[in-house]
Amino acid sequence: MNNSDNRKLKSPIQHEYDGMAKEYDKRWQKYISKSASETLKRINLAGANEILDVGCGTGELLYVIHQQNPDIQLKGIDISPEMLKVAESKLGSAAELQVGAASALPFDTNSIDMVMTISSFHYWPEPESCLTELRRVLKPGGRLIITDWCDDYLICKICDIFLRIFNNAHYKTYSLSDCKSLLRNSGFLDIQSEKYKIDFIWGLMTISACKSYE
């Protein structure tokens, strides 16, 4: 199989991120560091013995969590093998990394204390199906944390329109209320949320939601 054939078999997301993996941290370091730190400011990791990062990319979030909480068992999954190679070089044995997608997680039902995803949600073409899958792997009472671009901010709205036209990997950027509705429709409870800017123009939202104990 030649390189052209191989590229055709890749999803647009995998193709995009495999191609930028080696330069990703250098190019986006300020954004990925800020989005990870701002997310962790807004959540409580107490009681989370095991955390799964869906769309973990180069592993920045897992790296920061490990530095602050070395006893937490960390797992990461990403659709891009090349991004995971970078994550593995950064994390070593601190995290268990696998190739995979949010739509079909290779984990047992009721097995994970906390699932997190940062800047990945806007790539998911079937968000409710993916959220249902994330809820499946969470333990009863476990929490899902989503941080993503927020369509309530003008710059994110403009980028969403542009990317839907010119970038096949991008699916949709959501408003805070739309994202909360998706979570409710997927069976999540106790939804807490905040939207905020990480610089003068770019806006994010962080949402925490709970799987029921039943």
Residues 103-158 pLDDT 10s: 999 999 999 999 999 999 999 999 999 999 999 999 999 999 999 999 999 999 99
Strand runs (DSSP E) across 3-154, as ranges? Answer: 50-54, 73-78, 95-99, 112-118, 138-149
Alpha carbon distance 24, 86 (integer Å): 9
pLDDT tens per residue, range 144-162:
999 999 999 999 999 999 9
Which residues in the chain come in under a pLDDT of 50?
1-9
d(CA 142, CA 48): 8
Buried b (16+ CB within 10 A) or exposed e, 121-145: bbbbeebeebbebbbbbbbeebbbb
Three-class secondary structure of residue 59 per DSSP:
coil
- The pLDDT value given to residue 141: 97
Instruction: Give the end-to-end CA distance of the chain in Å, rounded to a whole number.
Output: 49
Domains of the chain by start residue, with CATH: 3-210 (3.40.50.150)
pLDDT for position 8: 43
Q: What is the pLDDT of residue 133?
A: 98
Q: What does the pLDDT read at residue 213? A: 87
pLDDT of residue 1: 31
User: Nearest to residue 17, comparing CAs of 123, 165, 145, 155?
Assistant: 123
Q: Residue 23 and residue 84: Cα distance in Å, rounded?
A: 13
Q: Write down the pLDDT at residue 10.
A: 66
- DSSP conformation class of 1: -
